[in-house]
Amino acid sequence: MQIDGSLVGKSSPPQTFEVTLEAVQRFMEATEDPALQSKEPLQYAPPTFPTTFRMRALELELDGSKMQLLHGEQQYTYTRQLRIGEQVTCVVRIADIRERHGKTGSMTFIVLETTGTDSEQQPIFTARSTAVVRQK
């Protein structure tokens, strides 16, 4: 499949995730989050927790056996904290695709934007990530 600018704007169907206490605790343990040691009960997920919501843009097929993939960047913008126990509906959209040429050949930069909304369709966060792809 050719990765080119014609994919910009394509979105995934909505997918809903539950923010469970167990999943947040596992994430905090894996990231060695010091807040896990607090005596206060957990009410909110860490800001980077949405990385656990596994989604992909349907039009974008990234196959690690045929290409080299590098996670380039991740950025989150929140309208409010992500609460433990709530359900979050996410949509991922291909925001940009650009190609650059370097010493080792061409690289494709893919910018994905994921939006998360609550059960009342109010925005919670927007995540932007950049993937760098090189064909093998």
92 within 8 A of 56, measured Cβ to Cβ: yes
Please report which confidence band the pLDDT of residue 136 belongs to, taking 50, 70 and 90 as the band edges.
low
β-pair partners for 45: none
Euclidean distance between CA atoms 65 and 83, whole angstroms: 37
Question: pLDDT value at position 40?
Answer: 87
Euclidean distance between CA atoms 113 and 130, whole angstroms: 9
- pLDDT cut 70: percent of the chain above it: 89
Euclidean distance between CA atoms 1 and 12, whole angstroms: 17
Structure tokens at 89: 């509906």
List all residues 6 or more positions away from 46 whose beta carbon is below 8 Å from its beta carbon: 24, 27, 28, 31, 33, 35
pLDDT in tens, 66-115: 667 778 889 999 999 999 999 999 999 999 999 888 787 788 899 999 99
Please report which confidence band the pLDDT of residue 63 belongs to, taking 50, 70 and 90 as the band edges.
low
What is the domain extent for residue 11? 5-135
The CATH code of the domain that includes 65 is 3.10.129.10
CA 123, chain centre distance (Å): 15
pLDDT in tens, 32-52: 998 888 888 899 999 999 999
Q: How many domains does the chain have?
A: 1
